[in-house]
Structure 1
């Protein structure tokens, strides 16, 4: 099994319903633990699926949607499906659902191009549990060198944040834009997370705009623009906890 085949199989894998010991799933899951690129994709795929599920839960399904999905997934009575064909039918049904969700999102977004709520929510969903980092290092210089090698955005770390010991970093993705993440140790088992993405990923944020604070459960994010990039700090706590790590004017 190669990486492309593993991705196809993992896209149809449902952790709560499918048997991880099934030979196909087991092989794909094994490859995901051995291949760093596949592991990164699999983590982001699961985070995206969870974000979709969270968004879908916020509004009722359009009338008749379930019937239309089931109709798409039903095989002809005289046709015998193989396991692979069943998987394809399920994928088609899922694609149909995503199209419906995307349509709702387009209607919602007709009044605004602000993607910041989605960006904040997706990034916080990744760090709610101890994040999986691609590089673990307490040395900020080593982290910057690694980001340069990966052609990732090397952030200007706010002075107050640079006083903390770094833990590590990784590269995430948001709407096909790379996002740099560096984690810092706040002590007491808590971290401060710095995200940086190209400003083109968040066209609703204008250069020089005031810092935007958002709350995601026990987390607070503070977002601001700097040249061609958007910076976001995420911490557990209130606005004051995030405020202390912002760059000084």
Structure 2
């Protein structure tokens, strides 16, 4: 240690602390002790993005699943509205823009109007003479109508008709199942319905159920129209 530093150290070591300064330091220490220990809050634990990633992924998956379920259902209407709408459509004689006694000509016309590409005229109707066809609005969804003579009469436009309507399964909730036809009576109208692939088939007649049954395949295994047991309030279209 240099002589200068030794001299300075001896000088300050020999200095005594003033009484007033000493009392101030002691008073400050007593105040801190009486106030208790100072509590310092620890910072909150930081959650990094990578730690939160599994929870974020799970939430996205759940929302995606809900969207996939809800989106296809949003645009559908209840198939329970179908039969009352058909009956209402025929409450006054409808205009049939295409007429032909050849069922395949009517099918071709309906396909050009947007009918499901997979729809076919049932065999028991192909044996009948056709009358005409039309596109029916069922509360915003399209049904494709073909009319057939179920009884022969002297005049060409005189007789009783049986009607076939086809629609897309994706447009309707509670569609009839594949397989055994389901039957239902709405006042003085009879209906039979079934699904094949993506096509809903509905056969209708302003006649007793026994009359309609003979035109329906597998009619002997007659099933109730369970899907249409409760008909919601129809909305005008």
Match of 1:243 among 202, 213, 220: 213
Gaps of 5+ in 2: 1-75, 154-158, 220-237
Give the count of matched residue pairs: 137
| Deviations 1:35-77 (CA, angstroms, capped at 9, x unpaired) | xxxxxxxxxxxxxxxxxxxxxxxxxxxxxxxxxxxxxxxxxxx
Query: Which residue number in structure 1 is paired with residue 50 of structure 2?
Result: none
Q: Secondary structure of 2:173's partner?
A: coil
Deviations 1:166-195 (A, max 9, x none): 001011122332210000012252100001
Which whole-Å CA distance do the structure 1 matches of 2:97 and 2:122 have between them?
A: 22
Structure number, greater radius of gyration: 2
Q: CA 1:150–1:196 in 2, change beyond 3 Å: closer, same or farther?
A: same
* Residue of structure 1 in register with 2:98 after alignment: 135
Distance 1:237 1:169, change over 3 A: same
2:109: which partner in 1?
146
1:114 Cα shift?
A: 8.2
Kept in 1, the 8 Å contact 2:98–2:134? The answer is: yes
Could you tell me how far 1:138 is from its partner in structure 2? 1.0
Using the TM superposition, give the Cα deviation of residue 206 of structure 1 relative to its aligned residue in structure 2, in angstroms.
Answer: 5.1
TM-score (norm 2): 0.52
8 A Cα contact 2:182 2:192, kept in partner:
yes
Change (3 A) 1:223 1:206: closer
Quote the residue 1:169 is aligned against: 133
Q: Flag as ranges the 4+ runs of structure 1 deviating above 3 A.
A: none
Corresponding residue for 2:200?
Answer: 230
**CA offset at residue 209 of structure 1?**
5.6
Alignment partners' CA distance in 1, 2:80 and 2:178:
19
Q: Distance in 2 between matches of 1:210 and 1:202?
A: 19
1:48 corresponds to: none
**Any residues of structure 2 matched to 1:9-48 within 5 Å, and which?**
none
Structure-2 separation of matches of 1:205 and 1:180: 16
2:149 maps to which of 185, 194, 203: 185
Distance 1:207 1:226 in 2: 8
Q: CA deviation at 1:218?
A: 1.6
What does the per-residue CA deviation read over 1:145-204, in whole Å, with 9 as the maximum and x for residues that have no partner?
212222223531111111110001011122332210000012252100001111122221
Please say if residues 176 and 193 of structure 2, whose CA atoms lie closer than 8 Å, have aligned partners that are also in contact. no
Give TM-score, length-normalised by structure 1: 0.50
Change (3 A) 1:163 1:129: farther
1:121 maps to 2:84: yes
Deviation at residue 208 of structure 1 after TM alignment:
2.0
Note the aligned Cα RMSD (angstroms). Answer: 2.3
Q: Offset of 1:120 from its aligned partner? A: 0.5
